[in-house]
């Protein structure tokens, strides 16, 4: 059997072992959140020195909470993200926004609905664009009539023109959604 633990990297939630006391306390908070009426979210903070397993524990707790359909927002604070108040606020809001979209079943439903309004040729262009990353240059997308298809997707607000010949998706998770179904 291969050792699933690599020094310096968080353990996979499925391979997580130990920390029963901490997991027990966090499971109580999750259960209270899930079963309280009205919903009463509980906050948990885990602090400690580098390399003691904080991220592994948080990832395990996130998996437990998501299995119980409990919303989770993991906000990672690094010196770079906390260099000033603007940076801290921006990064915190960005991570919260991403967590909401990832959790929301509405996001997947919206992405499916958005994709259904595209023709087969337009879908082909969207899939190729998704493979290119966050932004794509029209010259990188190898498909017939790319500019026509992108113009239609801009009109339908699926794609945003950011510069001459450069495009991005209206939401970064839409690109991730497309990557999963390619």
Within 13 Å and on the Cβ side, how many CA atoms surround 33? Answer: 18
Q: Where are the alpha helices (DSSP H) in the chain?
A: 20-35, 54-67, 85-103, 105-116, 120-131, 146-155, 172-181
Least confident span in 24-33, 72-81, 140-149, 163-172: 72-81
Whether residues 4 and 51 share a domain: the answer is yes
End position of a domain, from candidates 59, 88, 103:
103
Whether residues 134 and 160 share a domain: the answer is yes
Whether residues 128 and 99 share a domain: the answer is no
Whether residues 159 and 112 share a domain: the answer is yes
Question: pLDDT band for position 123 (50/70/90)?
Answer: very high
CATH code at position 169: 1.10.10.10
Question: What is the Cα–Cα distance from 111 to 39, expressed in whole angstroms?
Answer: 28
Whether residues 53 and 26 share a domain: the answer is yes
Report how many domains make up the chain. 3
Whether residues 80 and 68 share a domain: the answer is no
Whether residues 94 and 120 share a domain: the answer is no
Whether residues 92 and 125 share a domain: the answer is no
pLDDT in tens, 37-56: 777 788 878 888 888 888 88
DSSP β-bridge partners for residue 135: 168
Range of the domain at 112: 107-181
Whether residues 1 and 56 share a domain: the answer is yes
Whether residues 122 and 137 share a domain: the answer is yes
Whether residues 90 and 113 share a domain: the answer is no
Whether residues 58 and 8 share a domain: the answer is yes
């Amino acid at each position: 059997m291969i050792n699933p633990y690599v020094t310096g990297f968080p353990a996979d939630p499925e391979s997580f072992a130990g920390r029963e006391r901490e997991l027990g306390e966090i499971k109580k908070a999750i259960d209270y959140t899930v079963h309280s009426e009205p919903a009463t979210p509980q906050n948990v903070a885990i602090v400690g020195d580098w390399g003691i397993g904080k991220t592994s524990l948080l990832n395990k707790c996130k998996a437990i909470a998501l299995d119980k359909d409990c919303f989770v927002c993991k906000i990672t604070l690094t010196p770079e993200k906390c260099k000033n108040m603007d940076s801290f606020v921006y990064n915190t809001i960005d991570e919260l926004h991403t967590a909401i979209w990832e959790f929301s079943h509405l996001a997947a439903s919206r992405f499916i609905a958005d994709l259904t309004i595209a023709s087969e040729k337009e879908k082909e262009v969207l899939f190729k664009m998704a493979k290119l990353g966050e932004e794509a240059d029209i010259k990188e997308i190898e498909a017939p009539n790319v500019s026509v298809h992108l113009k239609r997707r801009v009109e339908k607000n699926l794609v945003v023109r950011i510069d001459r010949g450069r495009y991005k998706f209206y939401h970064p998770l839409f690109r991730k959604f497309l990557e999963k179904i390619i």
